[in-house]
Structure 1
Amino acid sequence: MWEWVQQNIWTLWLVAAGGLAVSEMLTLDMTLLMLAGGALAGAGVAVFFPALVWVQIVVAAVVAVALLGFLRPQVLKRLHRGPGYRSTFQQLLGGVGRTTGEVTASGGEVTVNGETWTARSYDGDAIPDGVEVDVIEVDDLTVVVQPRDKPLRRGEA
């Protein structure tokens, strides 16, 4: 049994690489794809040196770390500069949410796109619990909101 595994260990590396590549579709942060590249390198070594499992593991680890350290940052930088890319904060701007408690000029909480955010009122007026609000701006990790049914005063935002 062990002899068969040693002769066909490259298939295990390929299955691992495929599983990691497919799993990348769930995360979309390019980490699992880089690990899949390392597993693919391990498969390549396994084809030529099937008995040297430790060499396969070392090569897979070195390639995965190199891809994570050098290629992943460059790929992410290009993706983030691409047309149509909006960060989480940019997606919040103009979004619609609902207060989960009273929101005042000094604080409160709202839910936007299913996520809870610290919030404060745009004009300083208190906004009661359960009111639908628009996100006017994002200030660090705090969203600045205004009730949807309350118009902005001229010259604001």
Structure 2
Amino acid sequence: MDWILDNLWQAWLGLAIVLGVAEMFSLDLVLIMVAVGAVAGMTTALLGAPFVLQAVVAAGASVAMLALVRPPIAKRFHGGPELSLGHGKLVGQRAIVTQTITGLEVGRIKIGGEIWTAAPYDEHLTLVPGQSVEVLAIKGATAYVHPVGVIES
């Protein structure tokens, strides 16, 4: 027991290494934060502080790491790009009118290599073949489109 009290920095280092290795198996970013606290305790021991102060510094550093550093890192690791599937990925895309579209008659557009039934988002518009449009919504199998460059007032 006297050896541990005389070499507390080595005990803190050993604890940090064990926690670091254990983190490799758990991968939940908790043990590595506690390991950083052990390194802070080791640094305090190297400065010659009493054990109680070493323990307080280690605990404080661990809590600070868990509260301040882990949440943004965990969010970054566990989050990912937003994945759009199905027809929802077509909203906001540009398309080309292939068949005249009016407020009274649906037409066709080509978007993403597919032909879709389309209606004008503003029922007073007439869209002619070759015109570039943007898909504003999709309801069922009909895309609601608006010409690109037209500003509503």
TM-score, length-normalised on structure 1? 0.49
Aligned residue number for residue 66 of structure 1: 64
Return the offset for 1:82: 4.8
Counterpart secondary structure, 2:28: coil
Say yes or no: does 1:79 pair with 2:43: no
In structure 2, the residue matched to 1:9 is: 8
- Work out the CA distance in 1 between the residues paired with 2:80 and 2:36: 24
User: 1:74, 1:7 → 2: CA distance?
Assistant: 38
Residue identity opposite 2:58 in structure 1: A
Q: Which amino acid aligns with 1:65?
A: V
Q: Identity, % of aligned pairs?
A: 44
Q: Which residue of 2 aligns with 1:116?
A: none
- Please state whether the residue corresponding to 1:29 is helix, strand or coil: coil
For 2:48 and 2:19, locate their aligned partners in 1 and report how far apart those are by CA, in whole Å: 23
- Please list the CA deviations of residues 50-104 of structure 1 after superposition, one character each: whole Å capped at 9, or x if unmatched: 5x00000000000000000110001101112356xxxxxxxxxxxxxxxxxxxxx
CA spacing shift, 1:78–1:11, aligned 2, 3 Å: same
**Counterpart in the other structure of 2:41:** 42
Matches within 5 A, 1:1-157: 2=2, 4-50=3-49, 52-82=50-80
Number of residue-to-residue matches in the alignment: 84
- Determine the C-alpha separation between the residues in 1 that align with 2:54 and 2:80: 36
**Alignment partners' CA distance in 1, 2:75 and 2:63:** 18
- 1:26 to partner: Cα distance: 1.1
Distance, in Å, in 1 between the alignment partners of 2:13 and 2:80 is 31
Distance 1:15 1:82 in 2: 35
Task: Supply the AA of the counterpart residue of 2:6.
Answer: Q
What is the distance in 2 between the residues matched to 1:6 and 1:35? 21
Relative to the length of structure 2, the TM-score reads 0.50
CA distance in structure 1 between the partners assigned to 2:11 and 2:52 by the alignment: 15
- Segments of 5+ residues of structure 1 without an aligned counterpart are 84-157
Select the structure of larger CA radius of gyration: 2
What amino acid does structure 1 have at the position aligned with 2:52? W
